Amino acid sequence: MNRFTGVISLSMIFLSPLPSQVFLAGDSAGDAYKSIRDFGYDYEVPDCNHAVRHITFEWDDELRKPVFVFTLHRDKDNDRCISFDRQRCEIKTDAHSPQSMQGSKGETHSYRWKFKLDAGFQPSPNFCHIHQIKGDSGAPNTSAPLITITPRQGTPNKLEVIYAAQRGQTGGGRLKEVSLEPFLGVWVEAFERALYDEQGAYELEIRRVSDDSVLLSCRSDTLNLWRKGTRFNRPKYGIYRSLNSKTYLREESVRFADFSLAEGKEVSLPAQPTELTVSDASSGLVTIAWVDGSNNEDQFRIDRSIDGVTWKYHATASANAGSYTDTRLDGRRVYHYRVRSENTYGNSPYCQAVKAVLQKVNDSMK
Protein backbone atom coordinates (compact mmCIF):
# COMPACT_ATOMS: atom_id res chain seq x y z
CA MET A 1 0.00 0.00 0.00
CA ASN A 2 1.29 3.47 -0.85
CA ARG A 3 2.06 5.31 2.39
CA PHE A 4 2.01 8.73 0.74
CA THR A 5 -1.33 10.50 1.12
CA GLY A 6 -2.59 12.16 -2.04
CA VAL A 7 -1.47 11.79 -5.62
CA ILE A 8 2.14 10.79 -6.17
CA SER A 9 2.39 10.56 -9.96
CA LEU A 10 4.56 13.32 -11.38
CA SER A 11 2.39 13.46 -14.46
CA MET A 12 -0.99 14.07 -12.81
CA ILE A 13 -2.52 17.31 -11.55
CA PHE A 14 -3.98 17.42 -8.04
CA LEU A 15 -5.20 20.85 -7.02
CA SER A 16 -4.89 21.68 -3.32
CA PRO A 17 -4.06 24.62 -1.06
CA LEU A 18 -0.60 25.88 -1.93
CA PRO A 19 2.13 24.16 0.12
CA SER A 20 5.24 25.93 1.33
CA GLN A 21 7.75 26.00 -1.55
CA VAL A 22 11.32 27.33 -1.84
CA PHE A 23 13.13 27.71 -5.18
CA LEU A 24 16.88 28.45 -5.26
CA ALA A 25 18.34 29.22 -8.69
CA GLY A 26 21.69 30.51 -9.88
CA ASP A 27 22.45 34.23 -10.10
CA SER A 28 25.32 35.30 -12.36
CA ALA A 29 25.57 38.67 -10.60
CA GLY A 30 25.32 37.28 -7.07
CA ASP A 31 27.44 35.70 -4.35
CA ALA A 32 26.75 31.96 -4.17
CA TYR A 33 27.32 31.73 -0.40
CA LYS A 34 25.00 34.68 0.26
CA SER A 35 22.29 33.30 -2.06
CA ILE A 36 22.42 29.93 -0.29
CA ARG A 37 21.84 31.52 3.11
CA ASP A 38 19.32 34.07 1.83
CA PHE A 39 17.07 31.17 0.73
CA GLY A 40 17.23 29.32 4.06
CA TYR A 41 20.05 26.87 3.34
CA ASP A 42 23.56 26.71 4.77
CA TYR A 43 26.86 25.45 3.38
CA GLU A 44 29.72 23.24 4.56
CA VAL A 45 32.93 23.97 2.64
CA PRO A 46 36.69 23.43 3.14
CA ASP A 47 37.59 27.13 2.90
CA CYS A 48 39.22 27.05 6.35
CA ASN A 49 42.33 25.31 5.02
CA HIS A 50 42.18 26.22 1.33
CA ALA A 51 41.08 29.84 1.11
CA VAL A 52 39.17 29.82 -2.17
CA ARG A 53 35.44 29.81 -2.85
CA HIS A 54 34.38 26.19 -3.28
CA ILE A 55 30.82 27.02 -4.40
CA THR A 56 30.49 29.55 -7.20
CA PHE A 57 28.13 30.64 -9.97
CA GLU A 58 28.92 29.97 -13.62
CA TRP A 59 26.99 30.52 -16.83
CA ASP A 60 25.92 27.22 -18.42
CA ASP A 61 25.42 27.17 -22.19
CA GLU A 62 23.27 24.04 -22.16
CA LEU A 63 20.73 25.25 -19.59
CA ARG A 64 21.18 28.85 -20.79
CA LYS A 65 21.29 30.17 -17.24
CA PRO A 66 23.70 30.59 -14.31
CA VAL A 67 24.26 27.45 -12.21
CA PHE A 68 26.04 26.44 -9.00
CA VAL A 69 29.48 24.84 -9.32
CA PHE A 70 30.70 22.74 -6.35
CA THR A 71 34.46 22.06 -6.51
CA LEU A 72 36.82 19.86 -4.50
CA HIS A 73 40.61 19.89 -4.90
CA ARG A 74 42.04 16.46 -4.21
CA ASP A 75 45.30 17.51 -2.52
CA LYS A 76 44.22 20.71 -0.76
CA ASP A 77 40.75 20.21 0.70
CA ASN A 78 39.45 18.41 3.79
CA ASP A 79 36.21 18.29 5.77
CA ARG A 80 35.99 21.75 7.40
CA CYS A 81 39.33 21.24 9.21
CA ILE A 82 37.54 18.64 11.35
CA SER A 83 38.18 15.41 9.43
CA PHE A 84 41.17 14.90 7.15
CA ASP A 85 40.37 11.52 5.63
CA ARG A 86 37.48 13.02 3.61
CA GLN A 87 36.35 16.16 1.81
CA ARG A 88 33.03 17.98 1.95
CA CYS A 89 31.50 20.71 -0.20
CA GLU A 90 27.74 20.73 0.37
CA ILE A 91 24.67 22.84 0.99
CA LYS A 92 21.95 21.74 3.39
CA THR A 93 18.97 22.82 5.43
CA ASP A 94 19.73 23.12 9.15
CA ALA A 95 18.42 24.40 12.48
CA HIS A 96 18.52 27.98 11.18
CA SER A 97 16.31 27.13 8.19
CA PRO A 98 12.61 28.01 8.27
CA GLN A 99 10.47 25.33 9.92
CA SER A 100 8.91 24.50 6.56
CA MET A 101 12.37 23.45 5.25
CA GLN A 102 12.95 21.05 8.15
CA GLY A 103 11.45 17.60 7.77
CA SER A 104 9.61 16.87 11.03
CA LYS A 105 8.19 13.50 12.03
CA GLY A 106 5.10 12.57 10.05
CA GLU A 107 5.71 15.19 7.36
CA THR A 108 6.12 14.59 3.65
CA HIS A 109 8.78 16.64 1.88
CA SER A 110 9.43 16.88 -1.86
CA TYR A 111 12.70 17.89 -3.48
CA ARG A 112 13.59 18.62 -7.08
CA TRP A 113 16.98 19.64 -8.47
CA LYS A 114 19.26 19.37 -11.49
CA PHE A 115 22.85 18.17 -11.51
CA LYS A 116 25.60 17.45 -14.02
CA LEU A 117 28.57 15.16 -13.51
CA ASP A 118 31.53 15.93 -15.75
CA ALA A 119 32.06 13.57 -18.69
CA GLY A 120 35.33 12.49 -17.04
CA PHE A 121 33.96 12.25 -13.50
CA GLN A 122 36.03 9.79 -11.44
CA PRO A 123 34.18 7.80 -8.75
CA SER A 124 36.05 5.73 -6.19
CA PRO A 125 35.38 2.41 -4.42
CA ASN A 126 34.69 4.41 -1.24
CA PHE A 127 31.88 6.83 -0.51
CA CYS A 128 31.39 9.75 -2.85
CA HIS A 129 27.94 11.17 -2.14
CA ILE A 130 26.34 13.85 -4.31
CA HIS A 131 23.09 13.89 -2.30
CA GLN A 132 22.05 12.82 1.19
CA ILE A 133 19.00 12.92 3.42
CA LYS A 134 20.16 12.95 7.05
CA GLY A 135 18.87 13.59 10.53
CA ASP A 136 19.92 16.88 12.14
CA SER A 137 23.53 17.11 13.19
CA GLY A 138 24.46 15.81 16.63
CA ALA A 139 21.32 13.79 17.25
CA PRO A 140 21.78 10.14 18.26
CA ASN A 141 21.64 7.50 15.52
CA THR A 142 22.15 10.11 12.79
CA SER A 143 25.81 9.66 11.83
CA ALA A 144 24.76 7.63 8.79
CA PRO A 145 22.51 9.30 6.21
CA LEU A 146 19.07 7.82 5.66
CA ILE A 147 19.36 8.08 1.86
CA THR A 148 22.37 8.71 -0.37
CA ILE A 149 22.95 9.03 -4.09
CA THR A 150 26.48 7.81 -4.75
CA PRO A 151 28.61 7.31 -7.88
CA ARG A 152 30.69 4.17 -7.30
CA GLN A 153 33.77 2.81 -9.06
CA GLY A 154 33.29 -0.66 -10.54
CA THR A 155 33.03 -2.65 -13.75
CA PRO A 156 31.11 -0.78 -14.95
CA ASN A 157 30.90 2.30 -12.74
CA LYS A 158 27.52 2.62 -11.03
CA LEU A 159 25.14 5.20 -9.66
CA GLU A 160 23.67 3.85 -6.42
CA VAL A 161 20.68 4.89 -4.33
CA ILE A 162 21.35 3.59 -0.80
CA TYR A 163 19.15 3.32 2.28
CA ALA A 164 20.81 2.98 5.69
CA ALA A 165 18.74 1.08 8.23
CA GLN A 166 18.77 2.17 11.86
CA ARG A 167 21.50 0.59 13.92
CA GLY A 168 20.43 -2.89 14.99
CA GLN A 169 17.78 -3.16 12.28
CA THR A 170 17.90 -4.99 8.98
CA GLY A 171 16.78 -3.89 5.54
CA GLY A 172 19.51 -1.44 4.60
CA GLY A 173 21.29 -1.53 1.27
CA ARG A 174 20.87 -0.45 -2.33
CA LEU A 175 17.40 0.64 -3.37
CA LYS A 176 18.62 0.98 -6.95
CA GLU A 177 21.83 0.54 -8.93
CA VAL A 178 22.32 1.57 -12.56
CA SER A 179 25.21 2.23 -14.90
CA LEU A 180 26.86 5.60 -14.31
CA GLU A 181 27.64 6.18 -17.99
CA PRO A 182 24.27 7.74 -19.03
CA PHE A 183 24.68 10.36 -16.26
CA LEU A 184 28.08 11.62 -17.40
CA GLY A 185 28.42 14.90 -19.27
CA VAL A 186 24.66 15.63 -19.36
CA TRP A 187 22.22 17.56 -17.20
CA VAL A 188 19.75 15.39 -15.31
CA GLU A 189 16.89 16.29 -13.00
CA ALA A 190 15.92 14.48 -9.79
CA PHE A 191 12.39 14.31 -8.35
CA GLU A 192 12.37 13.02 -4.78
CA ARG A 193 9.65 12.55 -2.16
CA ALA A 194 9.96 11.23 1.40
CA LEU A 195 7.54 10.55 4.25
CA TYR A 196 9.55 11.00 7.45
CA ASP A 197 8.26 8.41 9.89
CA GLU A 198 9.14 4.99 11.33
CA GLN A 199 6.70 3.63 8.76
CA GLY A 200 8.07 5.91 6.08
CA ALA A 201 8.17 5.91 2.30
CA TYR A 202 10.53 7.14 -0.38
CA GLU A 203 10.54 7.60 -4.13
CA LEU A 204 13.05 8.98 -6.60
CA GLU A 205 13.02 9.54 -10.33
CA ILE A 206 15.91 10.99 -12.34
CA ARG A 207 15.32 12.23 -15.89
CA ARG A 208 17.64 13.52 -18.59
CA VAL A 209 16.88 17.22 -19.00
CA SER A 210 17.31 17.39 -22.78
CA ASP A 211 14.47 15.00 -23.64
CA ASP A 212 12.81 14.16 -20.28
CA SER A 213 13.69 10.46 -20.60
CA VAL A 214 13.78 8.50 -17.32
CA LEU A 215 17.25 7.20 -16.38
CA LEU A 216 16.49 5.91 -12.86
CA SER A 217 13.37 5.20 -10.86
CA CYS A 218 12.95 3.61 -7.44
CA ARG A 219 10.36 3.48 -4.69
CA SER A 220 9.78 1.86 -1.33
CA ASP A 221 6.84 2.11 1.06
CA THR A 222 8.51 0.17 3.90
CA LEU A 223 11.44 2.29 5.09
CA ASN A 224 12.15 3.61 8.57
CA LEU A 225 12.90 7.28 7.82
CA TRP A 226 12.92 8.53 11.39
CA ARG A 227 15.59 8.06 14.04
CA LYS A 228 14.98 8.37 17.78
CA GLY A 229 16.11 11.73 19.14
CA THR A 230 16.06 13.41 15.73
CA ARG A 231 14.61 16.92 15.65
CA PHE A 232 14.26 17.01 11.86
CA ASN A 233 15.56 15.50 8.63
CA ARG A 234 17.27 17.60 5.98
CA PRO A 235 18.55 17.26 2.41
CA LYS A 236 22.19 17.86 1.46
CA TYR A 237 23.62 18.44 -2.03
CA GLY A 238 27.19 18.69 -3.30
CA ILE A 239 30.25 16.44 -3.07
CA TYR A 240 31.20 14.49 0.05
CA ARG A 241 33.93 11.94 -0.62
CA SER A 242 36.46 9.71 1.10
CA LEU A 243 40.19 10.25 0.57
CA ASN A 244 41.04 6.63 1.41
CA SER A 245 41.54 5.76 -2.27
CA LYS A 246 43.07 9.00 -3.48
CA THR A 247 44.48 7.52 -6.67
CA TYR A 248 40.93 7.21 -8.03
CA LEU A 249 40.21 10.88 -7.45
CA ARG A 250 40.98 14.15 -9.20
CA GLU A 251 40.00 17.79 -8.80
CA GLU A 252 36.27 17.51 -9.36
CA SER A 253 33.45 19.93 -10.06
CA VAL A 254 29.77 19.00 -9.99
CA ARG A 255 27.17 21.45 -11.27
CA PHE A 256 23.77 21.93 -9.67
CA ALA A 257 20.77 24.07 -10.59
CA ASP A 258 17.17 24.84 -9.63
CA PHE A 259 16.91 23.51 -6.07
CA SER A 260 13.21 23.24 -5.24
CA LEU A 261 11.75 22.16 -1.89
CA ALA A 262 8.16 21.80 -0.71
CA GLU A 263 6.53 20.68 2.52
CA GLY A 264 3.13 19.05 2.29
CA LYS A 265 1.54 15.70 1.53
CA GLU A 266 -0.68 16.91 -1.30
CA VAL A 267 0.65 17.30 -4.82
CA SER A 268 -0.12 20.71 -6.30
CA LEU A 269 1.10 21.02 -9.88
CA PRO A 270 1.04 24.33 -11.72
CA ALA A 271 -1.55 25.00 -14.40
CA GLN A 272 -0.83 24.76 -18.10
CA PRO A 273 0.25 27.94 -19.90
CA THR A 274 -2.16 28.95 -22.66
CA GLU A 275 -2.42 31.11 -25.78
CA LEU A 276 1.15 30.62 -26.94
CA THR A 277 1.90 33.00 -29.82
CA VAL A 278 4.83 34.23 -31.87
CA SER A 279 5.11 37.96 -31.34
CA ASP A 280 8.30 38.51 -33.34
CA ALA A 281 10.20 36.44 -35.91
CA SER A 282 12.88 38.68 -37.35
CA SER A 283 16.06 37.48 -38.99
CA GLY A 284 18.03 37.28 -35.75
CA LEU A 285 15.50 36.33 -33.10
CA VAL A 286 12.14 34.80 -32.25
CA THR A 287 9.95 36.06 -29.40
CA ILE A 288 7.16 33.87 -28.07
CA ALA A 289 4.50 34.88 -25.54
CA TRP A 290 1.99 32.96 -23.40
CA VAL A 291 -0.61 33.44 -20.69
CA ASP A 292 0.48 32.29 -17.24
CA GLY A 293 -2.43 30.32 -15.80
CA SER A 294 -0.95 29.37 -12.40
CA ASN A 295 0.24 31.01 -9.20
CA ASN A 296 2.57 28.29 -7.94
CA GLU A 297 5.16 27.71 -10.68
CA ASP A 298 8.91 27.89 -10.01
CA GLN A 299 9.67 28.55 -13.66
CA PHE A 300 8.67 27.77 -17.24
CA ARG A 301 10.44 25.32 -19.53
CA ILE A 302 10.71 26.18 -23.21
CA ASP A 303 11.31 23.34 -25.68
CA ARG A 304 12.30 23.82 -29.31
CA SER A 305 11.90 21.56 -32.33
CA ILE A 306 12.97 21.69 -35.94
CA ASP A 307 10.12 19.56 -37.26
CA GLY A 308 7.43 19.85 -34.58
CA VAL A 309 7.85 16.16 -33.72
CA THR A 310 11.18 15.73 -31.92
CA TRP A 311 11.52 18.15 -29.02
CA LYS A 312 14.48 19.16 -26.83
CA TYR A 313 14.96 21.42 -23.85
CA HIS A 314 15.90 24.91 -24.98
CA ALA A 315 15.71 27.30 -22.00
CA THR A 316 13.73 28.36 -18.94
CA ALA A 317 11.86 31.54 -18.05
CA SER A 318 11.32 32.75 -14.50
CA ALA A 319 8.09 32.45 -12.54
CA ASN A 320 5.38 34.90 -13.65
CA ALA A 321 7.11 35.47 -16.99
CA GLY A 322 4.93 35.75 -20.05
CA SER A 323 7.45 35.73 -22.88
CA TYR A 324 10.85 34.49 -24.03
CA THR A 325 13.17 35.72 -26.78
CA ASP A 326 15.29 33.13 -28.57
CA THR A 327 18.48 34.59 -30.00
CA ARG A 328 20.28 31.25 -30.43
CA LEU A 329 19.12 30.60 -33.97
CA ASP A 330 21.20 28.41 -36.24
CA GLY A 331 20.25 29.51 -39.74
CA ARG A 332 16.99 27.66 -40.20
CA ARG A 333 13.87 29.50 -41.28
CA VAL A 334 11.28 27.51 -39.29
CA TYR A 335 11.26 26.70 -35.57
CA HIS A 336 8.60 25.15 -33.32
CA TYR A 337 8.15 26.03 -29.64
CA ARG A 338 6.18 24.72 -26.69
CA VAL A 339 6.05 25.78 -23.03
CA ARG A 340 5.12 24.17 -19.72
CA SER A 341 5.13 25.41 -16.12
CA GLU A 342 7.11 23.59 -13.42
CA ASN A 343 7.31 23.41 -9.63
CA THR A 344 8.69 21.06 -6.97
CA TYR A 345 6.12 18.34 -7.60
CA GLY A 346 6.30 18.17 -11.38
CA ASN A 347 5.04 19.83 -14.51
CA SER A 348 1.92 21.05 -16.21
CA PRO A 349 1.03 19.70 -19.64
CA TYR A 350 2.72 21.54 -22.49
CA CYS A 351 0.69 24.26 -24.13
CA GLN A 352 -0.25 23.87 -27.77
CA ALA A 353 2.90 24.34 -29.86
CA VAL A 354 3.46 27.24 -32.23
CA LYS A 355 5.51 27.59 -35.39
CA ALA A 356 7.77 30.56 -36.00
CA VAL A 357 8.71 31.38 -39.60
CA LEU A 358 11.55 33.85 -39.83
CA GLN A 359 10.96 36.78 -42.14
CA LYS A 360 14.36 36.20 -43.74
CA VAL A 361 17.57 34.36 -42.94
CA ASN A 362 20.83 36.29 -42.92
CA ASP A 363 23.70 34.85 -44.89
CA SER A 364 25.78 34.97 -41.69
CA MET A 365 23.32 32.55 -40.03
CA LYS A 366 23.48 29.89 -42.72
Average pLDDT over residues 323-346: 95
Burial class (CB in 10 A: 0-12, 13-18, 19+), 280: middle
Residue 261 has pLDDT above 60, yes or no: yes
Domains of the chain: 20-263 (2.60.120.200), 274-365 (2.60.40.10)
Average pLDDT over residues 270-280: 96
Residue 364 has pLDDT above 50, yes or no: no
Rounded distance between C-alpha atoms, residue 89 and residue 6, angstroms: 35
How does pLDDT run across 276-294, given as a tens digit for each residue? 999 899 989 999 999 999 9
Residue 196 has pLDDT above 80, yes or no: yes
pLDDT at res. 191:
98
How does pLDDT run across 68-108, given as a tens digit for each residue? 999 999 999 999 999 999 999 999 999 999 999 999 999 99
Q: What is the model's pTM?
A: 0.92
The three state secondary structure string of the chain is: CCCCCCCCCCCCCCCCCCCEEEEECCCCCCCHHHHHHHCCCEEECCCCCCCCCCEEEEEECCCCEEEEEEEECCCCCCECCCECCEEEEEEECCCCCCHHHCECCCCEEEEEEEEEECCCCCCCCCCEEEEEEEECCCCCCCCCCCEEEEEECCCCCEEEEEECCCCCCCCCEEEEEEECHHHECCEEEEEEEEECCCCEEEEEEEEECCCCCEEEEEEEEEECCCCCCCCCEEEEEEEEEECCCHHHCCCEEEEEEEEEEEECCCCCCCCCCEEEEEEEECCCCEEEEEECCCCCCCEEEEEEECCCCCEEEEEEEECCCCEEEECCCCCCCEEEEEEEEEECCEECCCCCCEEEECCCCCHHHC
Going by C-beta distance under 8 Å and a sequence separation of 6 or more, which residues neighbour residue 195? 3, 4, 106, 107, 108, 201, 202, 225, 265
pLDDT at res. 229:
87
Torsion sign over Cα 18, 22, 25, 28:
positive
pLDDT at res. 15:
33
Rounded distance between C-alpha atoms, residue 246 and residue 285, angstroms: 49
How does pLDDT run across 18-70, given as a tens digit for each residue? 456 899 999 988 899 999 999 999 999 999 999 999 999 999 999 999 999 99
